[in-house]
C-alpha cells in the first residue's frame, strides 16, 4: 500500500475573512479554492507566517470558503493556538511534517521494511499484473512471513514442496544431486525408481531353441548378448523313441572358439536329458559352473552324445541382466 502524503501546492495562500479566537475550528477565508480539497488527505496551513503570531493548523475539509480544523489541529506541529484578526494571511507551506513523511517512506524502501499494519492476521494480498489485489495461498503467506522475519531457512521441506508443486515452467536441473524417497509409479508420466526398473524392465528374461533331429558333434549358435547377463535356470526336454541327449552350452567373446568347443561351459561336461515327464531343470538337476556371461558374448549349444531316436531337443534359458 502506497504512503498517502499530506497535500501541498505552490503559492497557495489567501486571507482570513473573520477574526479567530484560539479555539475556533471553522476558519472563514476569502478564497478557499486556492487550497486542495482535503476529503482524502489533510493539509497543514500556516496563519500569519513569518510573524510572532504564527500558528499552524491541521485542515481536514475545505468547502464553500470554510476550512474545517481537526479537533486537535489548533497549534499543530509544535506551534501555539492564538487569536487572529480578520484579513491576515493564511498559507499552505512545506513544513517539517511533510519532510518527515518523505524520509520515513524512503527509509522504508531502502531498508526493505514490511509494515505489519499493511496485513491482517489471516490474509495477505499481492498485486497482479493489472494491480488487482489477489489473495496469497497459505504456502505463499508462510514464505512471505519467513522472508519478512529474515528466517527463510526455517521453511520445512513440505512447505517448500507445496510452493513448488505445479510451478515448473522449464526443465529443472538437479545439479548432479539425487532425488530420493520416490514411491513406485502407478500412472503414465510418473518417475520410476532404480529398484522399480530393476524389478520390471531388468527382471528375468528367457530365450528358447528347438533343435530338430540333433546330431552328435553339432554346435548351433544360440544367442549374442551386448550386456552382461547371468543364467539363472535352464529347462530341457527331448522327444523321440527312448531318447537320451547329452548337451552343453558354451559362452565366450570369440564365436570361432565356441565352434571348436572352446570358451566356458555353464555346466561343465554337459547335461543328460532323457524322455521323462519333466525333462531337465538346471541347476536343480545339474550344478552350474560358469553361469555369468560377460558383455559382447556368444552362446552356443553342442550335442556331445545321444542314444535312441531323438526327434527334438528343446532348450529354454532364463537369465537376468547384470
- Please state the rounded mean pLDDT for residues 237-251: 94
Per-residue confidence (pLDDT) for residue 51, from 0 to 100: 95
Give dist(CA 37, CA 21) in Å, integer.
Answer: 24
Ranges of each domain in the chain: 13-98, 114-153, 204-321
Rg of the chain in Å (alpha carbons): 48
Q: What would the mean pLDDT of 150-179 be, rounded to a whole number? A: 74
Name the pLDDT band for 154 (thresholds 50, 70, 90): low
Question: Considering only 43-47, 122-126, 153-157, 228-232, which range has the smallest mean pLDDT?
Answer: 122-126
**Which of 46-60, 175-189, 283-297 comes out lowest in average pLDDT?**
175-189
**Pair 144, 124: CB distance under 8 Å:** yes
Contact between 286 and 234 under an 8 Å Cβ cutoff? The reply is: no
Structure confidence by residue, pLDDT tens digits, 193-209: 887 777 776 667 999 99
Q: Which of 15-24, 76-85, 101-110 bottoms out in mean pLDDT, i.e. has the lowest?
A: 101-110
| Structure confidence by residue, pLDDT tens digits, 36-61 | 876 656 889 999 999 999 999 999 89
15-39: pLDDT as tens digits: 999 999 999 999 999 999 898 876 6
- DSSP string computed for 12-69: -EEEBSS-B-SS--EEEBS-GGGSPP-SSS-EEEEESTTSTT-EEEEEEEEETTEEEE
What pLDDT does 72 receive?
84
DSSP state of 123: -
* CATH fold for domain 204-321: Jelly Rolls (2.60.120)
Amino acid at each position: 500500500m502506497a504512503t498517502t502524503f499530506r497535500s501541498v501546492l505552490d503559492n497557495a495562500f489567501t486571507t482570513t475573512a473573520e477574526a479567530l479566537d484560539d479555539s475556533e475550528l471553522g476558519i472563514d477565508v476569502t478564497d478557499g479554492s486556492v487550497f486542495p480539497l482535503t476529503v482524502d488527505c489533510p493539509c497543514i496551513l500556516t496563519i500569519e507566517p513569518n510573524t510572532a503570531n504564527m500558528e499552524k493548523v491541521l485542515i481536514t475539509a475545505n468547502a464553500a470558503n470554510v476550512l474545517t480544523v481537526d479537533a486537535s489541529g489548533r497549534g499543530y506541529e509544535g506551534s501555539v493556538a492564538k487569536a487572529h484578526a480578520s484579513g491576515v494571511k493564511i498559507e499552505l507551506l512545506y513544513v517539517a511534517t511533510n519532510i518527515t513523511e518523505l524520509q520515513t517512506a524512503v527509509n522504508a524502501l531502502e531498508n526493505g521494511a514490511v509494515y505489519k499494519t499493511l496485513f491482517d492476521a489471516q490474509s495477505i494480498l499481492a498485486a497482479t499484473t493489472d494491480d488487482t489485489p489477489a489473495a496469497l495461498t497459505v504456502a505463499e503467506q508462510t514464505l512471505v512471513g519467513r522472508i519478512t522475519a529474515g528466517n527463510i531457512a526455517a521453511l520445512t521441506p513440505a512447505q517448500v514442496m507445496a510452493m513448488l508443486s505445479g510451478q515448473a515452467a522449464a526443465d529443472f536441473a538437479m545439479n548432479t544431486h539425487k532425488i530420493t524417497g520416490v514411491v513406485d509409479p502407478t500412472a503414465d508420466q510418473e518417475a520410476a525408481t532404480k529398484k522399480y526398473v530393476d524389478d520390471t524392465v531388468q527382471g528375468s528374461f528367457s530365450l528358447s531353441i528347438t533343435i530338430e533331429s540333433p546330431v552328435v558333434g553339432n554346435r548351433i549358435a544360440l544367442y549374442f548378448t551386448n550386456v552382461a547377463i547371468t543364467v539363472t535356470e535352464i529347462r530341457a526336454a527331448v522327444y523321440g523313441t527312448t531318447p537320451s541327449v547329452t548337451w552343453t552350452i558354451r559362452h565366450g567373446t570369440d564365436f570361432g572358439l565356441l565352434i571348436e568347443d572352446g570358451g566356458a561351459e555353464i555346466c561343465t561336461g554337459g547335461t543328460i536329458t532323457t524322455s521323462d515327464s519333466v525333462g531337465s531343470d538346471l541347476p536343480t538337476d545339474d550344478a552350474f559352473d560358469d553361469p555369468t556371461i560377460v558383455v559382447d558374448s556368444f552362446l552356443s549349444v553342442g550335442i556331445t552324445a545321444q542314444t535312441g531316436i531323438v526327434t527334438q531337443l528343446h532348450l529354454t534359458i532364463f537369465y537376468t541382466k547384470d
